[in-house]
Structures are given as C-alpha cells and as structure tokens.
Amino acid sequence: MAKTKKQPRPKAVTPKGFRDYFGPEVTRRQTMLAQIARIYDLYGFDALETSAVETVEALGKFLPDVDRPNEGVFAWEEDGDWLALRYDMTAPLARVAAQYRNDLPSPYRRYTMGPVWRNEKPGPGRFRQFYQCDADTVGSASMAADAEICAMLADVLEAVGIARGDYIVRVNNRKVLNGVMEVAGLGGDDKEAERGIVLRAIDKLDRLGEHGVRALLGEGRRDESGDFTKGAGLDPAAADVVLGFLSAKRESDTKTLERLKELIGDSEVGLEGISELWEICDLCYEQGYGDDRIVIDPSVVRGLGYYTGPVYEAELTFEIMDEKGRPRQFGSVAGGGRYDDLVKRFTGQEVPATGVSIGVDRLLAALTAQGRFEGAAEGPVIVTVMDRARMAEYQAMVSDLRRAGIRAELYLGNPKNFGNQMKYADKRNAPFAIIQGEDEAARDVVQIKDLKLGAKLADDLSHEEWRDQPAQFECPRADLVTEIRKRLG
C-alpha cells in the first residue's frame, strides 16, 4: 500500500478581522435585539429577514460612503453571477421594496436585524462582521414618518436600559444644509464635489474641532501623519457662514429654528428644510417628546451622500473614561435619515423613505461601560460524580433541578480527580456544587457546597477556619431542589 503523504494540520484561527462571541456576549446581544424588536413591533414595523448573500448588481457594488469607493464588500463569482455579502441593511431593503412592490403594503414599515460584512482593514474594535438593527418606512413622504422614527429611537434606548437624561436624539435636515451651501456659494450643479467635502468636514466636527473643520472648508488640512486632505476651497467669509450654521443651536428648538431662519436668507430649499423641522418638532412635542429627548441640532449631518431630508442620530451623553483615562461623552449609537433614490435605482420611480440603523455592538459597549453587566453571569449548579457506578442517580438529581427551572449539569469529565471537578465548577461560575459519596448515599443525603459563600469566606478567613464554615452543609436528598431554590433566591 502506498503511504499517503501527511497533510500539515490546519491552523485553528478566526479569520483576520472576525471574532467569536462567548456566553453572555451572545445572550446579552440577543436580549437587546429582542428588546429593540419589541419596540419596533409596537410601532407597527414588520420583521424582514433577507439572506446574507445578494447579487453584486443589486448591492450596487460599492459602499455608499465616498471615502471608500470601489471596494468594501466580500464578493465572489458563482456560475457567471457575482454574489456578495450585504454590507448594510438598506441596500437589501431597496431590493425588496422594488422586487415585491406589488405585494407589500404601502407605506411599508419594516425592521430587520442581523450581521453585515465589510471588507475593510480591521483595526482595534473594528470588525469585518457586526450587527445592525434597522427600521425604515418606505413609501411615505410625510414628516410624521421621520418624527415617529425619532420618537421610536428614544423609546428603544430606554427599553434597552439607557436612562432618560443619558441620551439625546438630535435632528437636522439636509435641505437646510443645502440652503447654507447656497448662501456660501456652493449651490451650483458643478459644486457637488465641494458640497461632499463640506458634509464630510462638518461630520468630523467632534473629532477635529472648529479649527480642523475650518481648514477642510478652506484649502485643506494636513493631519498629524503628514497626509493632506483637499478642502472645499471656501473663502473665510463663506466658511464663517457654514460654521455659523453649525453653531446655530440655541437653548430651545424654537430659538434654534428662528436662528436658522436668520442664517438661511431666502434660499428656497433652506426654508423648506426649516419648515420640515418645525413639523417634526410639533409632532414630537405632541407625542410627549420634549427637546430634553429629541432636539434640533444643526451640527448633525450624517456622512452618507444619499440623505435628502431630515437626518437624525442618537447620542449617549453620559461620560466614560477613554483609553487615556480622560472623561469623554460616549457619543453616537444610532443614526439615519430620509433618502429617496435607493429604490429608484431598480424601478426608475422615486420612492420616499426614511429609516434608522442602530449600532447594536456600540450600544452594548455603552451599557457595559455603565457597569450594567457587572458581576459574572450565574453558572449552572454542578452535580459532582463521586462514584462512577451511580451516574444514573446523579443524573436524576440534575434532572430534578432542571424540572424546577434551575440551570444544572452533571460533571461529564473524567471524575477520578475530585479537585478537577471543583476547578470546573469554579470555571463555570457555578453557585453550588452537589456532592454525594458512598456515605451520603447510604444515609440518603447530599452535601451542598455554596461556592460563592465559600469564595467570600476564603478571602476573609484562613484555610482552617474556612473548613468549619457553613459554606457546605448537608440535606436530605429529597430536599435538594427546595434547598437550592431557597438559596438561589
């Protein structure tokens, strides 16, 4: 027989830029997604789940972000067709809205949640697969659709556990921005590139400050690494107009809107934008959302080119410590706005739509930063194995506990070394270990070891004292479930 050549062993690694999620990392996200879905449902949104795979043609090939053209998706050829993993939830929605346009209700309110994939250089905290959780209304031109999504966003944040006062939903309108562009002399059809530069510059206000943004509005900006970003070429007076607009926020929505009106002059599109913002304000107030929760803020732009009307984002306003120990605001966890051209790509027909995307992983990080998940998740009660011949009896104990709704398991490793069983219980973060040796079996009792109390006592006391403490006690086998239930509280 010919010897088969030995294959080298495959490497057990997660692909670059991807990661694995364990235990509570998974269940916390699931819980959060369910909380969000409950609110979306209450607002009349219907679930939609498209497949992870789309034709490249339907996706439009590119991320909708001008900073990263011509790449960004994982794609492959299949029987002559190019397929790709979705990079967001909006492109598949546009495809669905076009494909089923004769069957779907109009307006169509849908929510969706799931992973999206980006073929980008991974970095710290930047992964190539992450969750999005979107809600969109397709086929409504009414500002009530936008106002509703802002209100829903506030409700969602409270539902997942962000306290009122710890978040703010900020609203702006691209039409107002376009009006400002007109006033600043960037109104023409030939100025689209410059307008893009202005939008992206404004979006970086938080990060670059007024000085950096002013550079980008003018000739351009050289960053710390020496790289040069070309600016919009505005003269200082025009840059002042734009910056004046960014700082137009006043102590109330009414005052902010009045200030915007002063700045916008007689730009028709700008005035239309202001009127839409008034409408959203009214609708939110009437539903009980004051400007402590939903506020007009002219500095919000949202980077994506495709927005055409209201834009909104949810920001968490509490402070956390950054890597260098300095306090900073947590920042944006969700954003969206109105877009009209996505369905048109397929059908030629303009369909007004507005929607929001929640960054689930960032929101989880926020709750973690607030200490919401402190204290390790409770593990199962572990029934140890003292006598291999009595596995069925041990298994029956586990079964009794489970039937009472108590998370429990039998130690299934090699039971020879009892120390290993206790180490296992420790690693599982088990609250109790159940022990029944020959002696206990003869007397029909079990030993219950309170591992939390044991750990606490072990911290406080010497080993000898600890052994005499009631962190371990005996009870009749028949009382096992009652005793554990009592102690789990």
Residues 255-294 that bind a second copy (CB under 8 A): 282-283, 285-288
Query: What is the torsional sign of CA 477, 480, 482, 487?
Result: positive
Which residue in the set 251, 392, 462, 489 belongs to the binding site for a second copy (CB under 8 A)? 392
Cα distance between residue 475 and residue 445, in whole Å:
6
Which residue in the set 62, 306, 346, 466 belongs to the binding site for a second copy (CB under 8 A)? 346
Cα distance between residue 107 and residue 281, in whole Å:
22
Which residues in the 439-478 window bind a second copy by CB under 8 A? none
118 known member of a binding site: yes
Please spell the DSSP secondary structure of 301-326, one letter per residue. Answer: --S-TT--SEEEEEEEEEEEE-TTS-
Q: Give the nearer residue to a second copy in terms of CB position, either 321 or 404.
A: 404
Residue 2 lies near a second copy (rule: CB under 8 A): no
Angle at 47 between CA 45 and CA 50, to 5 degrees: 135
Per-residue interface string for the shown chain with a second copy, residues 57-76, x marking contact by CB under 8 A:
xx-x-------------xxx
146 known member of a binding site: no
**In this structure, what token pair is assigned to residue 222?**
């050289």
1 known member of a binding site: no
List beta partners, residue 131: 115
Which residue in the set 95, 118, 200, 259 belongs to the binding site for a second copy (CB under 8 A)? 95
Residue positions counted in the chain: 489
**Judged by CB under 8 A, which stretch of 168-176, 296-304, 366-374, 394-402 contacts a second copy?**
394-402
State in angstroms the smallest separation of the CB of 194 from a second copy: 17
Which residue in the set 132, 140, 267, 384 belongs to the binding site for a second copy (CB under 8 A)? 140
Angle at 24 between CA 21 and CA 29, to 5 degrees: 75
Please name the residue that has the structure tokens 């409700």: 155
State in angstroms the smallest separation of the CB of 371 from a second copy: 22
Which residues in the 352-391 window bind a second copy by CB under 8 A? 379-380, 391
Which residue in the set 211, 324, 427, 486 belongs to the binding site for a second copy (CB under 8 A)? 427
Q: Which helix (H) or strand (E) holds 370?
A: none
Q: Give the nearer residue to a second copy in terms of CB position, either 226 or 348.
A: 348
Cβ 270 vs Cβ 264: under 8 Å: yes
First to last CA, the chain: 66
195 known member of a binding site: no
Helix (H, G, I), strand (E, B) or coil at 409: strand
Cα distance between residue 316 and residue 295, in whole Å:
13
Helix (H, G, I), strand (E, B) or coil at 283: helix
Residue 46 lies near a second copy (rule: CB under 8 A): yes
Residue 253 lies near a second copy (rule: CB under 8 A): no
**Judged by CB under 8 A, which stretch of 91-99, 319-327, 436-444, 449-457 contacts a second copy?**
91-99
How many residues make contact with a second copy (CB under 8 A)? 101
Which residue in the set 36, 63, 83, 176 belongs to the binding site for a second copy (CB under 8 A)? 83
Cβ 183 vs Cβ 244: under 8 Å: no
State in angstroms the smallest separation of the CB of 118 from a second copy: 12
State in angstroms the smallest separation of the CB of 462 from a second copy: 29
Cα 422–chain centre separation = 37
95-100: long-range contacts (C-beta < 8 A, 24 or more apart)? 95/50, 95/54, 95/58, 95/346, 96/48, 96/50, 97/138, 97/139, 97/342, 97/343, 97/351, 97/353, 98/343, 98/345, 98/346, 98/347, 99/346
State in angstroms the smallest separation of the CB of 16 from a second copy: 8
Which residues in the 150-169 window bind a second copy by CB under 8 A? 151
Q: Give the nearer residue to a second copy in terms of CB position, either 40 or 167.
A: 40
**Judged by CB under 8 A, which stretch of 253-261, 290-298, 404-412, 481-489 contacts a second copy?**
404-412
Residue 36 lies near a second copy (rule: CB under 8 A): no
**CB-based contacts of 193, cutoff 8 Å, min separation 6:** none
**Judged by CB under 8 A, which stretch of 94-102, 167-175, 200-208, 227-235 contacts a second copy?**
94-102
**In this structure, what token pair is assigned to residue 361?**
């992983």
State in angstroms the smallest separation of the CB of 213 from a second copy: 31
State in angstroms the smallest separation of the CB of 210 from a second copy: 36
Known binding-site positions: 88-90, 118, 132, 136, 302, 306-307
Known binding-site positions for L-histidine: 88-90, 118, 132, 136, 302, 306-307
